[in-house]
Structure 1
Amino acid sequence: MRVQAFMFYGCAVFFLASDIVYWLWSKDWTGTTALALAIGLAGLIGFYIHFTVRRLEKANGGPLYEDDPDGEIADAAGELGFFSPHSWWPLFLALSAATVTLGMVFGWWLVILGVAATLLTSVGLVFEYYRGHFSH
C-alpha cells in the first residue's frame, strides 16, 4: 500500500504544478481554487494511506504482503473483512440524503424532514447486524 500513498503524493505534486501554470496563464480564481482543493484532497488521501500503512506494519511486525518484493499471491489469502451481502439501508440512506438536497431547493421543512430521515437510516445502517436473525 505504500505505492498507493506515493501515487497520491505524485497526484498532489502534479496538481500543484498544474495549479501554478493555470494561475499564471488564466488568472481565473475558480479553476485555481478547484485545483488547490484537488491538491489538498490528494495530499490528504496520500497522508492517510501512508499513516495507515505505518500503523499496519507496526502491528504486523514487518512489511505488508503487497509491499514485499518476494511476496506470493497466497500471502493474501484469508478473510479480508465483513461485507453485507444484502442490505436495504444504503438505498434508504441515499433517498434521505436526496430529500435533504431537494429540501434545499423546495423548502427548509423538507430539509428538516430529510435530516431526521438521514439520522434514522444511518442508525439503521450502523446497527443492522446487532439484532434479529443476522446478529453476530
Structure 2
Amino acid sequence: MKNEAWIFGITAIFFVLIAPTYWLITGEWVGTTALVMTALLAIMIGLYLGFHAAKMDARPEDREDGEIAEGAGELGFFPPYSWWPLWCSITFSIVTYSVAYGAWWLTIIGGVFGMITIIGWVFEYYRGEHAH
C-alpha cells in the first residue's frame, strides 16, 4: 500500500501547485476551490493509505520476492447484475426534474418510488434468484 500512498501524495503535490497557478491565470474562485478540495482529498487518502501501510505486513504485490501464488484465494464478494440501480437513478431523475420545475406533486410520487427502489436494492439478496 506504500505505492498507492505515494501515488496519492504525488497527485496532492500536483494539485497544490496547480491551484494557485489556476487562480493567477484565470482569477476564478470556483475552479480554484475545486482544485484545493481535490488536493485536500488526495492528501487525506494518501495519509490514510500511508498510515495503514506502516502498520500492516507487505502484500505479495508490494514485495520484490512476492510470488503470484501468494495472492491466490478468495478476493471478496462481487454481486451479480442488478436492475435496482437503474430504477433508483430514474427515480432520482424524476425527483430532480420535479424540483427544477416546481411540481410538488411529482416530488411526492418520486419520493414514494424512491422508497420502494431503495428498499428493493437493500433487500435484493434476501429474496429471488440471488437469495442467501
Percent of pairs with identical residues: 44
2:20 match: secondary structure: helix
Read off the aligned partner of 2:29 and give its amino acid letter: W
The 1:42–1:112 alpha-carbon spacing in structure 2 relative to 1, beyond 3 Å, is: farther
Q: Does 1:17 align with 2:17?
A: yes
Distance 1:123 1:53 in 2: 37
Aligned to 2:123: 127
Distance 1:96 1:54 in 2: 44
Runs (5+) with no aligned partner, structure 2: none
Q: How far did 1:66 drift?
A: 2.3
> Could you tell me the TM-score, scaled by structure 1's length?
0.76
Q: TM-score, normalised by structure 2?
A: 0.78
Pick which of 37-46 and 88-97 moved more: 37-46
Q: Which one has a larger percent helix, Structure 1 or Structure 2? A: 1
Show CA shifts across 1:35-61 (max 9, x none): 112212323333444456567x2xxxx
Quote the offset at 1:63 in angstroms: 1.7
Rounded to whole Å, the distance in 1 between the matches of 2:25 and 2:107 is 41
